[in-house]
């Protein structure tokens, strides 16, 4: 029973180009009580591999979080398979606003402790006891209410390139960092304010809505389907778009343009820009915002030091990396003293 990829990302990329078929980038999640995540993981991999699905999927006792790409011609087969799984029947699918056939190049289905890392160790907290879901029209009405506090449940590098007007955007690196900060900042408003949250596709603010209800907040709301579904509804219903800029996404695209506003700046020269890149020095791989001019000048690197390393022969670069583990301590997202214009 094969439960792993046999092709490299480059080999898969070549096959996608040769096939010349359109693919759909899709995301979905579902909080549920899953008894044996490993069995579900194996079932999903075997079936989705046959459909030529590619992506990053996490399965845990608390549910599933999936971001993937499927050939457009296999979409109905994929949807039928989802519906055959009881807790995933009619699950909401977020179809990407901007499509890219190479958004994912491998199929990875992994068992995790949680589908969204939260740092919580509270067995009395029920993640399925969520807040009130609202669509785009009601969301627009809610955030104009003076008794509403609108909170972005994403990380600093996401909200930097795009967020809703008047949203609180915590300067945090991870979802777990934001939970206590927001609770502390809004502690005196647990009863008198409407707490409205949003994130990319809904998964983080759904867990947060359950958490804040658990912590005593009385009026908790979340944007159904996140920014992705909001954008679809705004366009379909001709509603006012209250989102400014780009929506950061966790695949090779790194972002979907929601409005023409550019609210961030190149981290190297300061000119208006909202294009995320990774430093070309593989030992750095820093995620940062870089304009085309700086990319050309700096050879797609974040600093002169990285530029010098990147110019070395590959074997020398590889030798310099030897013994250095690839972890979040190395691959920072938008945090570095070399970024002169990082706010």
Residue 33 DSSP one-character state: -
- Nearest CA to 230 out of 198, 254, 256, 253 is that of 198
Helical spans, DSSP H, in 51-102: 75-83
- Specify whether the backbone of 86 is left (phi greater than 0), alpha (psi in -120 to 50) or beta: alpha
SS3 content of the chain, % helix, strand, coil (to 5): 30, 20, 50
Query: 279 in helix, strand or coil?
Result: coil
Structure-token pair, residue 231 = 């954008």
Contact between 151 and 134 under an 8 Å Cβ cutoff? The reply is no
Length of the chain: 343
Is 199 a known active-site residue?
A: yes
- Nearest CA to 112 out of 67, 61, 68 is that of 61
**Set 199, 273, 284, 306: catalytic member:** 199
Count of CA atoms in the C-beta half-sphere (13 A) of 225: 19
Residue entry with tokens 């006792």: 61
Q: Is the dihedral of CA 237, 242, 245, 247 positive or negative?
A: negative
- Residue 172 φ/ψ, nearest 5 degrees: -125, 155
- Nearest CA to 259 out of 274, 273, 272, 241 is that of 241
Residue entry with tokens 């056939």: 101
- Specify whether the backbone of 320 is left (phi greater than 0), alpha (psi in -120 to 50) or beta: alpha
Catalytic residue numbers, as ranges: 199
């Amino acid at each position: 029973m094969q439960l792993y990829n046999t092709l490299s990302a480059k080999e898969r990329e070549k096959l996608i180009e040769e096939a010349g078929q359109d693919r759909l980038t899709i995301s979905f999640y579902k909080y549920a009580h899953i008894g044996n995540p490993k069995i579900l993981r194996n079932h999903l991999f075997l079936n989705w591999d046959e459909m030529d699905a590619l992506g990053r999927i996490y399965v845990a006792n608390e549910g599933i979080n999936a971001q993937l790409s499927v050939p457009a011609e296999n979409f109905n087969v994929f949807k039928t398979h989802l519906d055959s799984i009881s807790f995933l029947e009619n699950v909401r699918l977020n179809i990407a606003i901007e499509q890219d056939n190479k958004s994912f190049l491998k199929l990875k289905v992994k068992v995790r402790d949680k589908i969204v890392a939260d740092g919580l160790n509270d067995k009395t907290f029920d993640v399925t006891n969520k807040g009130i879901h609202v669509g785009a029209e009601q969301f627009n009405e809610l955030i104009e209410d003076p008794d509403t506090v609108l909170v972005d449940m994403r990380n600093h590098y996401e909200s930097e390139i795009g967020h809703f007007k008047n949203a609180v955007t915590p300067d945090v690196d991870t979802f777990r960092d934001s939970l206590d900060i927001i609770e502390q900042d809004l502690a005196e408003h647990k009863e008198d304010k409407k707490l409205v949250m949003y994130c990319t596709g809904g998964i983080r603010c759904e867990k947060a809505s359950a958490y804040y209800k658990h912590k005593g907040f009385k009026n908790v709301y979340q944007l159904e389907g996140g920014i992705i579904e909001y954008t679809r509804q705004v366009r379909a219903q001709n509603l006012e778009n209250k989102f400014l800029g780009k929506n950061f996404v966790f695949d090779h695209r790194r972002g979907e343009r929601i409005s023409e506003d550019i609210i961030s700046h190149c981290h190297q020269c300061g000119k208006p820009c909202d294009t995320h890149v990774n430093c070309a020095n593989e030992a750095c791989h820093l995620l940062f915002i870089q304009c085309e001019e700086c990319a050309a000048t700096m050879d797609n690197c974040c600093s002169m030091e990285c530029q010098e390393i990147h110019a070395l022969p590959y074997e020398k670069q590889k030798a310099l990396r030897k013994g250095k583990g690839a972890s979040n301590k190395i691959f920072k997202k938008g945090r570095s003293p070399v970024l002169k214009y990082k706010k």
